Structure 1
Amino acid sequence: MRVLMLSWEYPPVVVGGLGRHVHALATQLAAQGHDVVVLCRQPSGTDAITHPTVDVVSEGVRLVRVAEDPAHFVFEKDLLAWTLAMGHAMTRAGLALDSWRPDVVHAHDWLVAHPAVALAEAFGVPLVATIHATEAGRHSGWLSHPLNQQVHSVEWWLANRADSLITCSSAMRGEVAHLFEVDTADVSVLHNGIEPGGWKVRAKDVGAARRTYSPHGDPLLLFFGRIEWEKGIQDLIAALPRIRRVHRGTRVVVAGGGSQTEWLQDQARKHRVLRAVEFVGHLSDRSLAALLTAADAVVLPSRYEPFGIVALEAAAAGTPLVASTAGGLGEVVLDGVTGLSFAPGDVDGLTRAVRDVLSDPASAASRARAAKARLVSDFNWATIATDTASVYAKALVREPRVLGRPKIATGNLFT
């Protein structure tokens, strides 16, 4: 099939797990013989002079990385205007693909809704949309500000306009059906995947990471991902004093970037563990892999998590997992089998789980081996790509529907 995929991030422009997802899916589809074109963007804050549009073939995928238009829109300050401008540029690039025409258009999340809808209609082909997360989910069901409501309405439009929907977990399928008033039978669940071999690290790099982050040989915990409230890092910080009472000297490394770093540092100061929590920012893949392997446990205390691809990466590195049951994490981490789990926001449960891992490293290592073995059977990108192609093949252009604006609840959308 000829597949036109749209994503607002694609390596090396990566904000979170979505970029890695789209890259892996696109390259696997190409490896299976499909003709894949990905429309993505240049880094924000650039323009057509510094970063012109490029049209290249990379890893079997035709990659059209679209330049930003001249307007002074800033992602952090003008999110909707910036997104619409990006969509306009993507639409023009999609219409300029010479004589190439897709059999299906695949949109990844709300930021590419406008160009995806426009191009699917222009080419007269089915629109498939993967909803990776929701605005209501990220804000615990509250749409308190105009921007939250605007994003939610675009998500609702994409979900109702698409000819076929995909989510990365059963939890997300239920969330999407509830929030956007679609039938769960119309939503396919296709998990994220991983290439396990990419996380092998040299022993000397692991040793160097251990000496850097735990120079005195104390227990080492790792969180990596976006530094945002919904990731629950504040719960790990709150649990750390109790963990350290039993396992003296335990340290936490927080890797990644986001808007809550300063607030979390204040939380560490409040709980008197600031010197035991190290914020290291974004790490290279090589450095992250070494730190992952060096850690005694990866802790993922998410309050909201559509899937949790970082759990797969921890499993690939063979590191014991402690994770909340938020959203897709409850499907990725099987409590007592491939890791230890606790309810989102349950600081006592988090404390007990981490203490158990550190007190019984043999059992923790056994669960880590089970998690790694499960990657091959349940989270294989080749299988996921095949299943995605099946969704494409079954998708049919629906009769045109006139959609009005969705009603925005004044209370909590989940209660």
Structure 2
Amino acid sequence: MKILFILCDNPFRASCGMGSSVKEIIDGLAKADESIRIQVLDLRSNDGHQTITDQIEVFSCGYRDGLGSDFIVQTLMNAPIQIIYGIKNLRRPDVIHLQDWTSIAVGNALASYWGGDIKSVYTTQLSYTLLLEDLAKESMAAPPVDQAIVAEIERLERESIQSSDRAIFLNRSDQTRLNGPHDSQVIPHGIHLGDVLSIPFEEKKLPGDHPVKLLYFGRIDTMKNVGRLLDARLPSGVDLIVMGGEAGSNPELYQRLEDLARDRDHLHRIPFTAGDDKFHIIRAADAVIFPSIHEPFGLVGLEALACGTPLIASFAGGMSGYLDEACAIRIDGLGAEAIENAIHRFMTMSDSAKEAMVRNGLNVCKRFSWKDPVERHHRLYRDLTHDGKPA
């Protein structure tokens, strides 16, 4: 069975949660079935060909710098170059798996070129349509993109969901809001809890002179509500550490963060860190804050719970599928004042209440292993291709 994944990231040099989650699926598939051959077409970077294993190859042909309006126009304009690159370098697959709207034009064109009975799978890793709706609810400006382009992206999204051989969503709310077909599936992400718990804890000193360390990590983006987090007034004695880089972030918001960090003694930006170091930093924090406006799943929340670090979160989108107030502090609203109130609730919690919240969070993680989504993807591909080989 040959599968082509198309996405705006390189899973093996991931710059965002989508790339990281696709890597988990790919690695799991390769381990489950030695006959599977996987190609990845990365529409973000421009690194050429990369052999990962004898089962996995990555082909990169992209030009993405940030998440402003230029990225959206650039995505559509780059498609012809990427289609030609795919024709010249890729082998015809049995399944093309598109990860969100950024991969639709390229994936559809390649399927048409190769012809035959290629099966299509579409995952709503991120819906531009729903993101704009959620920003509008908060009276927040969307990227300044021509409305004709926005309408075309929405058309592509909805058409791909309906016309693909199988549609996948990360949460039930997105499935309902985008009118997912009756045979569409909700397959959430997961966490390797045992692996996280087995990492020997390495003491990390986080920046700042205040005793309480509040950590945000991920993309510096409007969708993540970073602007309002920066607007929030922190209690005395609190340092806010933002772990994230320029790659994959909103350029204007990233620059605002950099400017404010130079002026405020309680605000600090550190580079995004992957692997064990990321989990050391999460464990070193007193709490993780995750105030997103729109979140297809929200892997950051699950990673915080797995580290035993108290979580302050908005419960937006996919987070509502695994968070409750027994395992996390809910931000009751999405404005700066709501963020301030949630931080105050954390600061006034007793140690025993925090310990109970951490225990409940670890129990949540036990229900969200990566094993289940990998098995469900494998079964889905086999069903579509009528490949009866045992897993």
The alignment's TM-score, normalised by the length of structure 2, stands at 0.82
Task: Decide whether aligned partners of structure 1 residues 347 and 391 sit closer, same or farther in structure 2, where only a CA change above 3 A counts.
Answer: same
The question of 1:127 aligning with 2:124 is answered: no
Task: Decide whether aligned partners of structure 1 residues 265 and 8 sit closer, same or farther in structure 2, where only a CA change above 3 A counts.
Answer: closer
Partner AA of 2:207 in structure 1: Y
CA distance in 1, matches of 2:242, 2:295: 17
CA distance in 2, matches of 1:224, 1:134: 21
Task: Decide whether aligned partners of structure 1 residues 314 and 61 sit closer, same or farther in structure 2, where only a CA change above 3 A counts.
Answer: farther
CA distance in 2, matches of 1:115, 1:266: 38
- Aligned residue number for residue 191 of structure 1: 188
Does the CA-based 8 Å contact 1:39-1:90 persist in structure 2? no
Kindly state the Cα deviation for residue 275 of structure 1 after the two structures are TM-superposed.
1.8
CA distance in 2, matches of 1:84, 1:384: 32
Kindly state the Cα deviation for residue 144 of structure 1 after the two structures are TM-superposed.
6.1
Question: The residue matched to 2:215 in structure 1 has which SS?
Answer: strand
Greater CA drift, 33-42 or 253-262: 33-42
Does the CA-based 8 Å contact 2:124-2:169 persist in structure 1? yes
Task: Decide whether aligned partners of structure 1 residues 355 and 128 sit closer, same or farther in structure 2, where only a CA change above 3 A counts.
Answer: same
Superposition pairs of residues 375-394 of structure 1, within 5 angstroms: 375-377=365-367, 379-394=368-383
Q: Please point out which of 238, 241, 245 is paired with 1:250.
A: 238
- Aligned residue number for residue 410 of structure 1: none
Does the CA-based 8 Å contact 2:11-2:22 persist in structure 1? no
- Aligned residue number for residue 86 of structure 1: 82
Question: The residue matched to 1:193 in structure 2 has which SS?
Answer: coil
The question of 1:310 aligning with 2:310 is answered: no
CA distance in 1, matches of 2:43, 2:223: 27
Q: Please point out which of 282, 285, 298 is paired with 1:295.
A: 285
CA distance in 2, matches of 1:303, 1:348: 15
The question of 1:275 aligning with 2:277 is answered: no
CA distance in 1, matches of 2:168, 2:265: 43
Structure 1 unaligned runs (5+)?
398-415
Greater CA drift, 150-159 or 301-310: 150-159
The question of 1:326 aligning with 2:316 is answered: yes
Kindly state the Cα deviation for residue 14 of structure 1 after the two structures are TM-superposed.
1.9
- Aligned residue number for residue 342 of structure 1: 331
Report the count of equivalent residues: 361
CA distance in 2, matches of 1:236, 1:66: 34
Does the CA-based 8 Å contact 1:26-1:36 persist in structure 2? no
Q: Please point out which of 156, 159, 178 is paired with 2:158.
A: 156
Kindly state the Cα deviation for residue 151 of structure 1 after the two structures are TM-superposed.
3.0
Greater CA drift, 114-123 or 186-195: 114-123
- Aligned residue number for residue 49 of structure 2: 53
- Aligned residue number for residue 413 of structure 1: none
Task: Decide whether aligned partners of structure 1 residues 166 and 25 sit closer, same or farther in structure 2, where only a CA change above 3 A counts.
Answer: same
Task: Decide whether aligned partners of structure 1 residues 126 and 145 sit closer, same or farther in structure 2, where only a CA change above 3 A counts.
Answer: same
Kindly state the Cα deviation for residue 172 of structure 1 after the two structures are TM-superposed.
1.7
Task: Decide whether aligned partners of structure 1 residues 279 and 66 sit closer, same or farther in structure 2, where only a CA change above 3 A counts.
Answer: closer
Kindly state the Cα deviation for residue 322 of structure 1 after the two structures are TM-superposed.
0.8
- Aligned residue number for residue 340 of structure 2: 351
CA distance in 2, matches of 1:91, 1:321: 46
- Aligned residue number for residue 26 of structure 1: 26
CA distance in 1, matches of 2:64, 2:8: 15
CA distance in 1, matches of 2:330, 2:242: 19
Deviations 1:12-31 (A, max 9, x none): 43231110111100111121
Partner AA of 1:105 in structure 2: I
CA distance in 2, matches of 1:43, 1:155: 19
- Aligned residue number for residue 169 of structure 1: 171
Structure 2 unaligned runs (5+)?
137-141, 387-391
CA distance in 1, matches of 2:307, 2:259: 31
Kindly state the Cα deviation for residue 358 of structure 1 after the two structures are TM-superposed.
2.8
Task: Decide whether aligned partners of structure 1 residues 344 and 306 sit closer, same or farther in structure 2, where only a CA change above 3 A counts.
Answer: farther
Task: Decide whether aligned partners of structure 1 residues 330 and 159 sit closer, same or farther in structure 2, where only a CA change above 3 A counts.
Answer: same
- Aligned residue number for residue 406 of structure 1: none
CA distance in 2, matches of 1:301, 1:317: 19
Question: The residue matched to 1:322 in structure 2 has which SS?
Answer: strand
Partner AA of 2:58 in structure 1: V
Task: Decide whether aligned partners of structure 1 residues 38 and 366 sit closer, same or farther in structure 2, where only a CA change above 3 A counts.
Answer: farther
Q: Please point out which of 223, 235, 249 is paired with 1:230.
A: 223
The alignment's TM-score, normalised by the length of structure 1, stands at 0.77
- Aligned residue number for residue 62 of structure 1: 56
Q: Please point out which of 119, 129, 133 is paired with 1:136.
A: 129
Task: Decide whether aligned partners of structure 1 residues 340 and 172 sit closer, same or farther in structure 2, where only a CA change above 3 A counts.
Answer: same
The percentage of aligned residue pairs carrying the same residue is 21
Question: The residue matched to 1:6 in structure 2 has which SS?
Answer: strand
Task: Decide whether aligned partners of structure 1 residues 64 and 230 sit closer, same or farther in structure 2, where only a CA change above 3 A counts.
Answer: closer
Deviations 1:109-151 (A, max 9, x none): 1222133224445241321110111113333256862243343
